[in-house]
Chain A
Amino acid sequence: MTPRRQRMIFVAVLLLGVGVAAGLALMALGENMLYFFSPSQIRSGEAPTGQTLRVGGLVVDGTVKRGDGLAVRFDLSDGAHAVTVHYTGILPDLFREGQGIVAMGRLGPDGSFQAQEVLAKHDENYMPPEVAEALKMAREGGSMANPHGPK
């Protein structure tokens, strides 16, 4: 075996070894790599109770209720289940009904979520407002303008 061939095998083994090690490590980390839980995972008891965690989902239309001062309450849904979030503080600019939101806080005993921090998650779609409006019209059969549309 030539020295060059030996070095070639060394590089191949190095890449393979590191790849396998990283794959195993990521599989072992599993759910710990998740930045947030979905409302369904919370409902099914996959999320730890009594400790700080994050929940992510879409703000359900018509559930945003403002209380005294900066207090606000809204439902987060992933399509299957919803969880009610209570929060007091400044909401990000992107916060609106239908928006993806990640809230950090604790699960209360009644199953509602007490948030200390609310972050907005924007999606991967980029388009001019007119196109978004046209898409929305097409989805709703062009019947009427959506009162919750983008400002």
Chain B
Amino acid sequence: MTIARLFHQFGSPPHFYRLAGRMLPWFATACVACLAAGLYGGLVLAPPDYQQGESYRIIFIHVPSAWMSLFVYMVMAACGAIVLIWRMKLAEVVAQASAPIGASFTFMALVTGSLWGKPMWGTYWVWDARLTSELILLFLYLGVIGLQSAYEDRRTGARAAAVLALVGVVNIPIIHYSVEWWNTLHQGPTVTKLDKPSIHLSMLVPLLLMAVAFKLYYATLLLMRARSDLLERERNAAWVRDEVAAR
């Protein structure tokens, strides 16, 4: 049962703490490299759009933020299922570390979309299916964050938040398919569809670079937050005393 052993080893706090510490600089460096390349490609090299001129360049922030808002939620919900079924402490830590990051990505997607909507659509906000379901996602994140800290016992809070996170999973396909199921003011999918992406290669490459950069940014923040959270939770454990003594 090597897989079960790996699972247990990865889930053990001291092992994760040290592994995360070793991975952090690599993720951070790769994130900065992708971010620099993506921003240069998107803001300098990519041509203006035939319809929206220079304004479309906000997609290099807006689209990766929106993708991450869904991705981080799925990570958080998967951790929620692990918390409920296997009571794994590391999954609680990852869910707790992910929630504020995901909420920030959601907030950024909503704000950049709003700023883009004014010049292009003619309005900051409309209550169409895409925008409304994304706003509900922000409220779900805020609810999860609230529940995580609503109990004296953190582990009880983690389980309550896990139930809400799992209930909210139903919103994820609604957000993704909202632009296909209903008429919306928001555009249909450009990249995340089975057909060929309907974006020119010179714009697609920096967009994907930015998406990778945002993923690495999340990984970096997640590891940092999880490490400090583990130290606090396990402050009475022998391995934490050893770590501190080794400094």
Contact = CB atoms under 8 A, between A and B. Distances in A.
Q: Indicate whether A and B interact.
A: yes
Interface of A: 4, 7-8, 10-11, 14-15, 18-19, 22, 26, 33-38, 56, 91-94, 102, 117-133, 150
A125 B198 contact: yes
Contact of B185 (A14, A37, A121, A132): A121
A95 to B, nearest CB: 8
A10 B174 contact: no
Contact of B50 (A91, A92, A118, A132): A132
B120 A120 contact: yes
Contact of B182 (A34, A38, A93): A34
Contacts of B123: 117, 119
B169 A15 contact: yes
Contact of A36 (B119, B174, B183): B183
A11 B166 contact: yes
Interface of B: 47-52, 56, 59, 81, 84-86, 119-123, 126-129, 163, 166-167, 169-170, 174, 181-185, 187-190, 198-200, 202-203
B182 A35 contact: yes
A19 B182 CA distance: 19
A6 to B, nearest CB: 9
Given A7-B84, A10-B84, A126-B203, A92 B182 contact: no
Contact of B56 (A15, A117, A126): A126
A4 B84 CA distance: 9
Nearest to B168: A18
Contacts of A56: 183
A93 B119 contact: yes
B187 A150 contact: no
Nearest to A20: B170
B50 A119 contact: no
The 7 residue pairs across chains A and B that have the minimum distance between CB atoms: A92-B122, A132-B50, A128-B47, A35-B128, A126-B199, A127-B200, A124-B190
